[in-house]
Amino acid sequence: MVGVGVSLSVEGARLSMGSLRLDMSFELEDGEVVALLGPNGAGKTTLLRAIAGLLALAGGRVVLDGRVLEEAGSRVYVPTEARSIGFVFQDYLLFPHMSVADNVAFGVRSRAVALEWLERLGLSRYADARPGTLSGGERQRVALARALAPGPRVLLLDEPLAALDVSTRAGVRRDLKAHLAAFRGVRLLVTHDPLEAVMLADRLIVMEEGSQVQSGTPVEVTERPRSRYVADLVGVNLVRGRASGGVVDVGGGASVAAAGADSGDVFAVVHPRAVSLHRARPEGSPRNVWEGHAIGIEMLGDRARVRIEGRVPMVAEVTPGALAELGLVEGSPVWVSFKATDVAVYPA
Amino acid sequence: MRRERAPLWIGVLAAIGAAFFILPLIGLVVRTPWGDALQSLTSADTLDALRLSLVASLSATAFALVLGVPLAWVYARVDFPGRSVVRALTTLPMVLPPVVGGIALLLAFGRRGLVGSMLASFGVSLPFTTAGVVMAETFVAMPFLVLTVEAGLRSMDRRYEDAARTLGAGRWTVFTRVTLPLIAPSVAAGAVLCWARALGEFGATITFAGNFPGVTQTMPLAVYLLLETNPQGSFVLSLILLLVSLVVLVGLRHRWLGSA
């Protein structure tokens, strides 16, 4: 059954490619822009290709507006060309032997409509140019026009900004956001860049090793990371353990004191700015105090991020001045402290 | 390229190797009786041979395109049992002595051949006709086109075809509007190679189609026979074939000779 208002649903879609085992379920609604965020090799592109029917599913099914597009194990398979799915490929794949206008007209089979789209995306003057003569940002807009011109129900975008120079990316991203807003249909984009995901999408689906690890609004995901990958992207310390009586037992005999950690399987997040470093055992109120070794120091703008191996691995953010005063170098012993009230706890 | 001087003996052997190819060509150009060239060229027999050669080799190339491009597509894209065996068999004419190819054609399409006897009952006879010349040339030359186009298909970025499908294109549209234009350089190169091979075909043609002036006597056959009766004429015809080969080579230089 497909719920009311759900436009595209991917139900237990499974397939294997090389070492990747894809297994994903999610639903996309009209009106929302969803980003699939994950590291390289997580299976994001594979998933997009499967939704478009370019890869066969080994299990599960894909349903669009209540119509089954593909169901593994049955004979139901709507071929790619009949799925009404627009696809913007990572390197755009504009046909090199056709003019820009012919590229856009390819799907819609009308030069007049193609010219309208070029006009809308500010590309009219390139109508007769070959794609090879365009800049990366222009090529991306042509690819978008080509995918949108036939009026698809679904728009899939694979790393739409990855092929661009860093200098042009911000401008193209702004334009892309506007064009995405103008499209009435299901919008799903793939990215490994958290900034891109947060700026373009209303909802994030975080993918790792072929599976979904988290889903939610950008704020929910960044405030309550549920995987090492997201925690590293956001730059916070993340541990998982069993909570009881204000303490999170993270295993191996180690624990973290956290206000509000009452019971159950939980995640605990500590911002690196909340972690203090000391040469000797500090006296005072912080409930979390232990000794470790600095194993990595890197400068990040006007701050130093210090990676500390100890009872629980932590990253601390201090000023370069503090670093000098502590005489901290890689391998130095150092004491770590942070308050139980600086630890955010939420159910896993 | 790095500047390098050849050791003496390598240089000498290389020079002999090059001379081995260049001297015969010089001989051909120097010994051709230029004064009689025009006269030899315009003799009725020569013109017949030239016309027949062009018609047959171009027809063979056309057949090779119509049948060879689909064959190359199947080899590159469809994984069927026995593919490597079938592929090897259709490539065989490239290394098979052409006379053997001609005999094989006779045994298949000759009047008492496997298929030929059936065709004969419909009143169709292929050997010793112009159609037989086209068949012999196609048999020997098509593998060049198939291999070149197959290589082009294997090296093209198939995601362009995926992009076309997401834009609603069916298989035929994808093939004609995306795949073919993208591999056009390979198809052109394959066709030119195929045509050049067909134009020079001798062994299979004379075996399967015979040597009848105006019907099956192509340029290479005419050259060989004129050598006995009118050597001067055969020199002129040889020179024409040499020029054609040269044009083909220059046309394909970017593909076969690098930037040199």
Q: What is the pLDDT of residues A37-68, one digit of tens each?
A: 999 999 999 999 999 999 999 999 999 999 99
Q: How do strand A254-257 and strand A263-270 relate by DSSP bridges?
A: unpaired
| Residue B183 resides in a domain | yes
Closest among A103, A82, A83, A102 to A92, alpha carbons compared: A103
- Tokens 């024409």: give the residue: B240
Phi-psi region of B29 (alpha: psi -120 to 50; beta: other; left: phi over 0): alpha
Q: What is the CATH number of the domain that holds B163?
A: 1.10.3720.10
Per residue of chain B (260 residues), what is the pLDDT tens digit?
Answer: 677 888 999 999 999 999 999 999 999 888 887 777 667 677 777 888 889 999 999 999 999 999 999 999 999 999 999 999 999 999 999 999 999 999 999 999 998 889 999 998 888 899 999 999 999 999 999 999 999 999 999 999 999 999 999 999 999 999 999 999 999 999 999 999 999 999 999 999 999 999 999 899 999 999 998 888 888 878 888 888 888 888 888 887 766 555 44
- In chain B, the number of structural domains is 1
| Residue B145 resides in a domain | yes
Closest among B35, B95, B45 to B221, alpha carbons compared: B45
- Residue ranges of domains in chain A, CATH in brackets: 6-84+153-231 (3.40.50.300), 235-347 (2.40.50.100)
Asked whether the beta carbons of residue A96 and residue B164 sit closer than 8 angstroms, the reply is no
Kindly report the pTM of this predicted structure. Answer: 0.84
CA separation for the pair B194, B58 (Å, rounded): 9
Cα distance from B160 to chain A (closest Cα, Å)? 6
For position B123, what pLDDT does the model report? 87
Nearest CB partner across the interface for B166, out of A87, A95, A96: A87
In this prediction, residue A1 has a pLDDT band, given cuts at 50, 70 and 90, of: very low
CB pairs under 8 A between A and B: 56
Cα distance from A176 to chain B (closest Cα, Å)? 20
A-chain residues near B166 (CB < 8 A): 52, 54, 80-81, 83, 85-87, 107, 147
Q: SS in 3 state form for A39-63? A: CCCCCHHHHHHHHCCCCCCCEEEEE
Asked whether the beta carbons of residue B168 and residue A146 sit closer than 8 angstroms, the reply is no
Alpha-helix residue ranges (DSSP H) falling in A74-193: 100-108, 111-120, 136-148, 166-182
User: Residue A178 in contact with residue A10, Cβ under 8 Å?
Assistant: no
Return the exposure string of A50-76: e unless at least 16 CB atoms fall within 10 Å of the residue's CB, then b. bbbbbbebbebbbbbeeebbbbbeeee
Nearest CB partner across the interface for A95, out of B160, B168, B184: B160
Residue length of chain B: 260
| Residue B246 resides in a domain | no
Cα distance from A22 to chain B (closest Cα, Å)? 21
ipTM of the complex: 0.84
Phi, psi for A248 (deg, rounded to 5): -105, 115
- A79 at interface of B, judged by CB pairs closer than 8 A: yes
**How many of the other CB atoms lie within 10 Å of CB of B103?**
16
Nearest CB partner across the interface for A81, out of B157, B169, B182: B169
B-chain residues near A150 (CB < 8 A): 167-168
β-partners of residue A33 are: A187
Residue A3 has pLDDT above 60, yes or no: no
| Residue B109 resides in a domain | yes
In A91-110, the residues whose Cβ lies within 8 Å of chain B are 93, 95-98, 106-107
- In sequence order, which residues have a C-beta less than 8 Å from that of residue A260 and are 6 or more positions away? A246, A345
Domain that holds residue B118: 55-216
Asked whether the beta carbons of residue B165 and residue A93 sit closer than 8 angstroms, the reply is no
Q: Is A9 helix (H, G, I), strand (E, B) or coil?
A: strand
- Tokens 């200098």: give the residue: A167
Q: Which amino acid is at A182?
A: A
Q: Which amino acid is at A14?
A: R
DSSP 8-state symbol, A337: E
| Residue B126 resides in a domain | yes
Asked whether the beta carbons of residue A107 and residue B159 sit closer than 8 angstroms, the reply is no
| Residue B236 resides in a domain | no
A-chain residues near B170 (CB < 8 A): 81
- A147 at interface of B, judged by CB pairs closer than 8 A: yes
Cα distance from A48 to chain B (closest Cα, Å)? 12
